[in-house]
Amino acid sequence: MGHSWDKGQVTKAATYTEEGVKTYTCTRCNGTRTESIPKSVPAAPTITKVENVNGGIKVTWGAVAGAEQYRLYVYSESTGSWKKVTDTASTSATFNGISGISLKSGTSYRFTVKCIRPAVSSYDKTGKTITYIAQPVLSSAANATSGVTVQWGKVTGAAKYRVFRKVSGASKWDKVTDTTSTSCTDTTAKSGTTYIYTVRCISGDGKSYTSSYDAKGKTVLRLSNPSVTVSNTASGVAVKWGKVTGANGYYVYRKTDSGKYSKIATIKSGSTVSYTDTAVKSKNGTTYTYTVRAYNGSTLSSYAGKKIVRLTAPTISSVTNSSGRTMTVKWNKNSSATGYQVYYKTGSTVKTVTVKGSSSLSKTISGLTKGSTYTVYVRSYKTVSGVNYYSAWSGSKTVKISK
């Protein structure tokens, strides 16, 4: 004979069937009797949100009164049927692929949900559809000549990308730019500031996000390029640069036209902004390119080279008052030079004249002021691809115009 169910007599956890029947095992009937307790059928769940998240598609639905468990389905175009994704007591689940249906960026997926416990509900046969757009994978954020360059992998199906940054320690992301490229350079980054960058896919009109984003991002300390100048001196090539905010020091590099950069000096102070390369003092006529990179720990700035032809300065052999209001300047030959410049001054009057040809080793200058004393310097120059490179000035000689 049957009997009514007594909660205190349950000795086995409840089990369920797809037909919406909840089954208990009872201690009465000598432990051999089970009773099935039918439950009322819950309403069909309503999907409220379908969104691309890191590594999948998150589907969210409203809670259904009386429902204890839900089943998420994805539609299979190949079989024309709904396929189970997962069972959950939660009101959301994430799809990242099942047997026969893989997750691919740029592919559309359709989802529906129904209650399965304590009874099976109906479901929305139309479902909710979304095109999966994968989260961009950041490859680097590094110092470049004009700012910080951020790079990421191409995402199939993405219309555009939006680049964000925030200062290290901040919570709010700020937009940098929208682009269809897979890289951008943030030209507004300030030297000495640490930034975190991330990228998110957006719709073509820029009004909605179509992917998730890497919340960790890529971190970089912005170090601007040192602005480098080079010049010949008596002892070698002088390299100078502007101080870089945030730098702990600088690396100085040199290369020949056909060679690669070699580090020639490490400057262990962010305030030291010059270095003289004495190793090239005797390398007259050789072309070099120099550059400087700021550093802070393992972070380096970008760099840009400055070319120079190493030229030794001529030596003035004589300066004479050769005739009326005229002086003649003579110097030694620099066989690597294209020509020379003669600089002379008296009081506030300063003039420079150019002498073409490496074998032209004297210059007569007229129209001088009688009774005045002139100080004279000479330097060599070499023209390469339309650019003149100069040696240091020679030591000075003076002459009084007495004729």
Token digits of residue 96? 């990242």
- Give yes or no: residues 67 and 25 share one domain: no
Note if the bond before 314 is cis, omega within 30 degrees. no
- Give yes or no: residues 189 and 146 share one domain: yes
Last residue of a domain, one of 104, 131, 158: 131
- Give yes or no: residues 152 and 186 share one domain: yes
- Give yes or no: residues 258 and 323 share one domain: no
**Per the domain annotation, does 1 fall within a domain?**
no
**Per the domain annotation, does 2 fall within a domain?**
no
Cα–Cα dist 231/287, whole Å: 12
- Give yes or no: residues 70 and 115 share one domain: yes
Last residue of a domain, one of 309, 324, 342: 309
Interacting residues of 385 by C-beta distance below 8 A, sequence separation 6+: none
- Give yes or no: residues 337 and 375 share one domain: yes
**Per the domain annotation, does 109 fall within a domain?**
yes
- Give yes or no: residues 217 and 263 share one domain: no
- C-beta separation of 63 from 70 below 8 A: no
By CB atoms closer than 10 A (0-12, 13-18, 19+), residue 99 is exposed
- Give yes or no: residues 32 and 103 share one domain: no
- Give yes or no: residues 119 and 179 share one domain: no
Cα–Cα dist 76/293, whole Å: 56
CATH number at residue 57: 2.60.40.10
What are the backbone angles phi and psi of residue 289, rounded to the nearest 5°? -120, 130
- Give yes or no: residues 215 and 157 share one domain: yes
pLDDT digit of tens for each residue in the chain (403 aa)? 444 545 444 444 444 444 444 554 555 554 444 445 555 789 999 999 999 999 999 999 999 999 999 999 999 999 999 999 999 999 999 999 999 999 999 999 999 999 998 889 999 999 999 999 999 999 999 999 999 999 999 999 999 999 999 999 999 999 999 999 999 999 999 999 999 999 999 999 999 999 999 999 999 999 999 999 999 999 999 999 999 999 999 999 999 988 999 999 999 999 999 999 999 999 999 999 999 999 999 999 999 999 999 999 999 999 999 999 999 999 999 999 999 999 999 999 999 999 999 999 999 999 999 999 999 999 999 999 999 999 999 999 999 999 9
- Give yes or no: residues 113 and 151 share one domain: no
pTM of the model: 0.82
Last residue of a domain, one of 167, 198, 221: 221
**Per the domain annotation, does 54 fall within a domain?**
yes
Structural domain count, the chain = 5
CA-nearest of 396, 397, 388 to 231 is: 388
Cα torsion angle, 337, 341, 342, 348, sign: negative
- Give yes or no: residues 216 and 237 share one domain: no
Domain that holds residue 69: 47-131
Which residues, in sequence order, are bridge partners of residue 296? 299
